[in-house]
Amino acid sequence: MSRGFSTIGVGHPRIDAIEKVTGKARYAADFSLPGMLYGKIKRSPHAHARVLSIDAEKALALEGVKAVLTPWDVPRVLHTGAPAPRLGSLRADQLVLTDVARFVGDGVAAVAATTEEIAEAALDLIEVQYEILPAVFTVEEARRPGAPLIHGTEGNLVMPPIIVQAGDVEAGFAEADLVLEATYHTGRPSHCYMEPNACLCYFDESGTLTIWASTQCAFMVRGILSEVLGLPLHKVRVVVKHMGGGFGAKQDLYQHEFVCALLARRTGRPVKMVYSRKEVFMATKTRHPVSITLKQGVKRDGTITARQALYVSNTGGYASHGPGITAVGTIDMTSLYRCNENWRLEGRSVYTNAPIAGAFRGYGAVQSFFALDVQMDELAEMVGMNPLDFRLKNAVGEGDPSPSGHRLRADALAACLRRGAEEVRWHERWQPPEVKTGRVRWGLGIGTEMHSSGAYPDIKEQSNAILKMNEDGTVQLLTGAADLGTGAHTVLAQIAAEELGMPLANIRVVSGDTDMVPFDIGAYASRTTYVAGSAVQRAAAELRQRLLALAGEKLGCEATTLEIRDGEIRRQGQVLLSVAELVRGEGGRPAVALMAQATYEAKVAYSFAAHFAEVEVDTETGMVRVTKVVAVHEIGKAINPLGVEGQIEGGIQQGIGHSLTEDLVLDPETGAPLNAGFVDYKMPLAPDMPEIRVIILEEAPDPDSPFGAKGVGEDPIMAIGPAIANAVYNATGVRFRELPITPDKLLARLREQGETDTA
């Protein structure tokens, strides 16, 4: 590209910023219709129980109650609940309303009433007889011989184990001077999006269902609703306006979306359902608690010779993305650090009666990279190398295999490590834990990651875009891509503006109505800029060509001699006419209807990051404070650097929570969540945030992506966890192979080391 960019690479506030900060933006729960009813779900208090009977007589007798649904009143179609079938291996095991509860909070009945209060009261009047079944909450319990079978599968496995192997692992271990085998555990954080799950359903006079929903995947919701409810696809319309987060959990459908539509059909009235925060915690999704037993061999010179791992995920009562995250988490352990291409990796996903685990920012690889990057620190120490140098020696780079099967094109991971080390003055400031003394101890740690933009080749990644020229020179950009609060639509508008040569203000993004916009598979896998952005760029290039052809005709010159800049047609820098003048016809009508459409099927690109976390550990209280994070991300090209920084800061906030405080704790006897609310579930708030220095590298732009850009949505949360755990070790000499690192655990470990009296 010879000329400079005008819109790309410049930090833009989000195009919807004003409506959001003024509180005018409307989310799914903000919509209402005349005559609307309120729906609620009756949830099982038992983690595993058969529903013997349901008596709704008293509930139906309550004034204002319009309908009650039981498992026997709704379609008994098994579905996956997860609309993005990664690897085609998701299991259809969920029902709209279940007659066998498989976790505390599984929905067994539903009610519609004229007010929310009446609906709540009616829930208590629905009498459910249960046969209580034995329940298991951990993988160990679920795998024990004689354990209750939650879905009838052998050993409670969701699917046959995934095996990924290459080279000769035994020969690799034989070649090693030292071998380390250890098990790493991750916790059960909740997504904690600010906008609770909500929807509003109604059937119009043509029998078409319209659902206002909060979803990352509107077209997938349309598909699954149509299938389960037995409605023709073109008679389901999904509308998504603003979203207040999703982080992966809103890839799935929940019981309310089905139940709400069925209650609307039953009553002939619009029905709205909004989950309480407690319902969001107990009955939506969590991250998968995973245990990874990782074994690696290393030579004295720091060469890793082989890698073996067993990745076991606890998927809870239903499969959801269990198979997908287990596959990705397993396959991703082939990456990040070389091991002479000798690996044997196995992934298992196990049903339990815990809350359902699902897709969550970082999709299975967060857990893998935690294990891998903590073990990198351990191996470095074993061979007596500095942890930075040990990583640089083994970091994957140009020519190395990637999980997608493509060879990497650049040494971007090493570039991130080097840039970060320079920024924190690693070689001056890093010292081994032995020298740390005093009550409050400072530590510095590294975490790294790499992540694909999009899920190719597991999913055929496809996005579309339509651009419509208006008669005043402005443009409607029609996209099916959701913006869950990430700023994705701002980026798409920037791409269109840049490619068209028009001001950003002239682009209006139209999205989230499956009746109006072209198909998009959804917002996940850090794919929107890369895949949807490519479709937009292609459509914009097409529209530009048509505008130039029209201008050439009108001006009597070759279109190839013209260009569009700032909404004006120019030749050799000279302004000839504006785009508005070009497209304006007689009487203000458009001269010609100009429209362009593009479909894009993406391949894959990898983004990389290295995070350097600084912590202060209070050895008397066990409290860890993250004081500074230097986050270096290689993303090809930052379309909107302001948005990129926002994503990275948000990922660090979420990652600090997952590393130190956030965990949905279950009662070991009943399986009921004990902290299903923001009072007891501790998310980091503004005062808990460190100073963050974001450094964006653009060393390896992708040749197939819009302006070279790659994804950044999931990346930050993958690198921060190991960075914090490694920094805690560096400060205290206490090696945590599990998250979260809570003060009670840290104090207990310091006590074991006999270190609490040193203050």
State the minimum distance, in angstroms, from the CB of residue 245 to ligand SMO. Answer: 11
Of 184 and 360, which CB lies nearer to ligand SMO in the complex structure?
360
Q: Do residues 17 and 23 touch, judged by C-beta distance below 8 A?
A: no
Report the sign of the C-alpha dihedral through residues 115, 121, 122, 128, in that order: positive
Scanning residues 575 to 634, which ones bind ligand SMO (CB under 6 A)? none
* Residues 265 and 231 sit within 8 Å (Cβ to Cβ): no
CB count within 10 Å of CB 156 equals 24
Q: Write out the two tokens for 375.
A: 């073990």
Residue whose CB is less far from ligand SMO, 711 or 722: 711
Q: Is 590 helix (H, G, I), strand (E, B) or coil?
A: strand
Give the other-Cβ count within 10 Å of 22's Cβ: 8
Site for ligand SMO in 701-730 (CB under 6 A): none
Rounded distance between C-alpha atoms, residue 231 and residue 209, angstroms: 9
At closest approach, how far in Å is the CB of 622 from ligand SMO?
31
Contact call for residues 625 and 693 (beta carbons, < 8 A): no
Question: Which tokens in the block code for residue 550?
Answer: 């029209």
Closer to ligand SMO by Cβ: residue 249 or 652: 249
Q: Are 564 and 544 in contact (CB under 8 A)?
A: yes
Smallest distance, Å, CB 55 to ligand SMO? 40
**Which residue's CB is nearer to ligand SMO, number 216 or number 514?**
216
Nearer to ligand SMO, 270 or 512 (CB): 512
Residue 682: exposure state from Cβ atoms within 10 A (0-12, 13-18, ≥19) = middle
Residue written as tokens 């579930």? 681
Q: Which stretch binds ligand SMO (CB under 6 A): 179-187, 220-228, 356-364, 402-410?
A: 356-364
Candidates 8, 119, 229, 359: give the one binding ligand SMO (CB under 6 A): 359
* 251 makes contact with ligand SMO (CB under 6 A): yes
Contact predicate 296/175, CB 8 Å: no
Identify whether the C-beta of residue 675 lies closer than 8 Å to the C-beta of residue 664.
yes
Residue nearest to ligand SMO (CB): 248
Smallest CA-to-CA distance from 453 within 713, 651, 112, 669 is with 713
Size of the residue set binding ligand SMO (CB under 6 A): 9
Q: Which is nearer to ligand SMO, 41 or 365 (CB)?
A: 365
Question: CB of residue 133 vs ligand SMO: minimum separation in angstroms?
Answer: 31
Q: Which is nearer to ligand SMO, 210 or 284 (CB)?
A: 284
Candidates 113-121, 332-340, 355-363, 621-629: pick the segment binding ligand SMO (CB under 6 A). Answer: 355-363
Cα(31)–Cα(570) distance, rounded to whole angstroms? 46
User: Residue 754 and residue 759: Cα distance in Å, rounded?
Assistant: 12
CB of 388 to ligand SMO, least distance (A): 30
Whole-angstrom Cα Rg for the chain:
27
Task: Show contacts with ligand SMO in window 40-69 (CB under 6 A).
Answer: none
Shortest Å distance, C-beta 593 to ligand SMO: 37
Euclidean distance between CA atoms 551 and 570, whole angstroms: 10
- Shortest spacing between CB 359 and ligand SMO, in angstroms: 4
CA dist 122 and 494 (Å) reads: 50
Which positions from 515 through 554 interact with ligand SMO, judged by CB under 6 A?
524-525
Among residues 202 and 524, whose Cβ is nearest to ligand SMO?
524
Closest distance of CB 164 from ligand SMO, Å: 20
Min. distance of Cβ 17 from ligand SMO in angstroms?
A: 23
Nearer to ligand SMO, 457 or 733 (CB): 457
248/722 with CB nearer ligand SMO? 248
- Tokens linked to 29: 């729960």
User: Where in 209-238 is the site for ligand SMO (CB under 6 A)?
Assistant: 216
Task: Using CB under 6 A, pick the residue from 66, 361, 391, 710 that binds ligand SMO.
Answer: 361
Which of residues 453 and 514 has its CB atom nearest to ligand SMO in the complex?
Answer: 453
Separation CA 315–CA 591 (nearest Å): 58
- 3-state class (DSSP) for residue 28: helix
Least distance (Å) between residue 558 CB and ligand SMO: 46
DSSP 640: S
Q: Which two tokens stand for residue 487?
A: 């700023």
| Interacting residues with ligand SMO between 146 and 205 (CB under 6 A) | none
Q: Is 254 in the site for ligand SMO (CB under 6 A)?
A: no
| Minimum distance of ligand SMO from residue 523's CB (angstroms) | 7
Q: Which of residues 376 and 720 has its CB atom nearest to ligand SMO in the complex?
A: 720
Helix (H) or strand (E) holding 228: helix 218-229
Which of 318, 360, 370, 612 binds ligand SMO (CB under 6 A)? It is: 360
Q: How far is the CB of 747 from ligand SMO (least distance, A)?
A: 33
Distance from C-alpha of 175 to C-alpha of 190, rounded to nearest angstrom: 42
Q: Which residues bind ligand SMO (CB under 6 A)?
A: 216, 248, 251, 359-361, 363, 524-525
